[in-house]
Amino acid sequence: MAELVQTAKELLSSGAVKFIIGYAQHTKNHAMPFIARTPEEAEKLVFNHHCLNNLSVYINTLELPKEGKIGIVSKGCDLRSVTMLIQESQILRDRLYIIGVNCNGVVKDFEMDWSKENLAPKCAICKVREPKTADVVIGEIEPLAPPEQLADDMVAKLDAMSPIERWNFWQAQFEKCIKCYTCRQACPMCYCDQCLVDKNVPQWIESSSSARGNFSWNIVRAFHQAGRCTGCGECSRVCPMNIPLALLNKKMGMVAAKEFNFMPGMNADEPTLIGTYNLKDKNDFIM
């Protein structure tokens, strides 16, 4: 994308940003995260249907310069994560230069050819294809027609189950967990210096890959994402055991929207849900 490269080169040449977090082509169907620090390195930046990673995770994992701005290439869904990090005071908006890219969908996973059938499920329901709060927005929006099978809502199917059926479903899913914590590493909202699961005095969650430990880890993490998850789907995508972790977070998000009229990552000036107390908040959903 020539417009992306030109924008990045101008920002780096002028010193407007220290570096830019973006994507570079790795193989024909695989774009990987890449940091451009010079105008020459900016030549490698790309954006296409294979730019899957949510780059906002690097805001808290990279060593940032003490002064100056950093640039980040962000599609609309990932910009919600960036906005949520701003809302949670993990970075100041003034420290970022956001290069928004109009997104026409990405594939489900690396090395897939771009086609309607390989469209990532999250793209079928995306309402933020245009990153309107970015400092600059590049690219054109094209019509996006998802395949029919993506219309199925697994959350609705789970809600229709009886409690014991749902229990059995999630128990079977969590039994597959190998405690690799890849979901945690890929999640922009998992930025604690020390995760609860890594603490052993006291030990709140069993570290072994046991039925009880697996269930505790995954349920506790889902609760920690309540009102914070922006639906990027990285947790499900990177899980080597194909556990549909994003379903839990999606359900939590649906409850937050219904009960509190809150959508995370939509407005950087809006207080966070878990950081706000209001006497008028509903509590009829508490058992």
Q: Is 193 exposed, middle or buried (0-12, 13-18, 19+ CB in 10 A)?
A: exposed
How far apart CA 19 and CA 63 sit, in angstroms, is 11
pLDDT over 80 at 154, yes or no: yes
* CA neighbor of 138 nearest in space, from 95, 183, 74: 74
Domain-by-domain residue ranges, the chain?
2-145, 153-260
How far apart CA 112 and CA 107 sit, in angstroms, is 7
Percent of the chain with pLDDT over 90: 63
Q: What values do phi and psi take at 234, rounded to 5?
A: -65, -35
Q: pLDDT tens for residues 155-210? A: 899 999 999 999 999 999 999 999 999 999 999 999 988 887 777 777 677 777 78
pTM comes to 0.89
Residues present in the chain in total? 287
